[in-house]
Amino acid sequence: MSELVMVIEDEKEIRDLLKYNLEREGFRVATAADGEQGLQQIFASRPAAVVLDLMLPGRSGLEILREVREEPATHDLPVLVLTARGAEMDKLLGFEHGADDYLTKPFSPRELIARLRALLRRSQPVKNDTSITRGTLKLESHSREATVAGVRLTLTPREFDLLVFLARHPGRVVSRDELLRKVWGYDYVGETRTVDVHVRRLRMKLGEEARLIETVTGAGYKFLALERETAS
């Protein structure tokens, strides 16, 4: 059965546009015109992904996002946010809100579908159960748990993926464009500031192990190659 995408958007024109384009791409689509109804439908019908407008009557998109993230059953549900120009991207992508990705209106349906597919690919469960240890940082790909000195970090799904990618390539300089392609799965190059926002968040959450992610001026980021490393 094709994957169900939930569209929460109060503007009928955009809602219809999304529904039309998503269905043409083979998705099943459920729509809601207000936040409360949308939230109920998310919990009732368990979509594979959500396209969420931020400016909604009743309950705002951010309130909905918060509830989705708080609920264990929907904690990792991919959410692509639609924003007006000038929204505060840092906050949106950060831990407080936890959007997986965002698009600024007006957007092209083709781009939205590319982003959505990337989110859906990423949310597929990892088959090989691996753990990575770097310093006091430990990453478990199966449970998607990250700990520093035994203390669990609260990471967004994207932050976790970014950290795993970097930790798998210690000592190698990785450009922002490469991170966008490999971690975000974009088919195009751009919006490199997104990467910086996520790295900044990650460093804050890593605390004493923030040293593990080095900035290489003009080139990108490098995960610290420790002398003695264990990977299993």
Neighbours of 70 (CB within 10 A): 10
Taking CA atoms, 54 is separated from 29, 43, 80, 137, in Å, by 19, 19, 10, 35
The residue range among 18-26, 49-57, 159-167, 178-186 that interacts with Ca ion, by the rule CB under 5 A, is 49-57
Piece in contact with Ca ion (CB under 5 A), picked from 47-55, 94-102, 109-117, 129-137: 47-55
d(CA 112, CA 146): 30
Token output for 132: 């990575």
Q: Which is nearer to Ca ion, 10 or 140 (CB)?
A: 10
Q: Is 15 in the site for Ca ion (CB under 5 A)?
A: no
Three-state DSSP class for residue 107: coil
Q: Which residue is nearest to Ca ion (CB)?
A: 55
Nearer to Ca ion among residue 48 and residue 55 (C-beta): 55
Measured between alpha carbons, how far apart are the two ends of the chain, in Å? 36
Among 32, 53, 68, 80, binds Ca ion (CB under 5 A): 53
Nearest CB to Ca ion, comparing residues 55 and 103: 55
- Examine residue 10 and tell whether it contacts Ca ion (CB under 5 A): yes
Nearest approach, Cβ of residue 11 and Ca ion (Å)? 5
Q: Is 212 left (phi over 0), alpha (psi -120 to 50) or beta?
A: alpha
Question: Is residue 214 close enough to count as binding Ca ion by CB under 5 A?
Answer: no
Taking CB under 5 A as the binding criterion, the range among 4-12, 60-68, 107-115, 151-159 that sits at the site for Ca ion is 4-12
3-state SS class at 193 = helix
In the set 55, 89, 197, 224, which binds Ca ion (CB under 5 A)?
55
Say which residues have a Cβ less than 8 Å from residue 125's Cβ, sequence separation at least 6: none
Q: Residue 84 or 219: which CB sits closer to Ca ion?
A: 84
Q: Between 84 and 189, whose beta carbon lies closer to Ca ion?
A: 84
Amino acid found at 129: D
Contact residues: Ca ion, CB under 5 A? 10, 53, 55
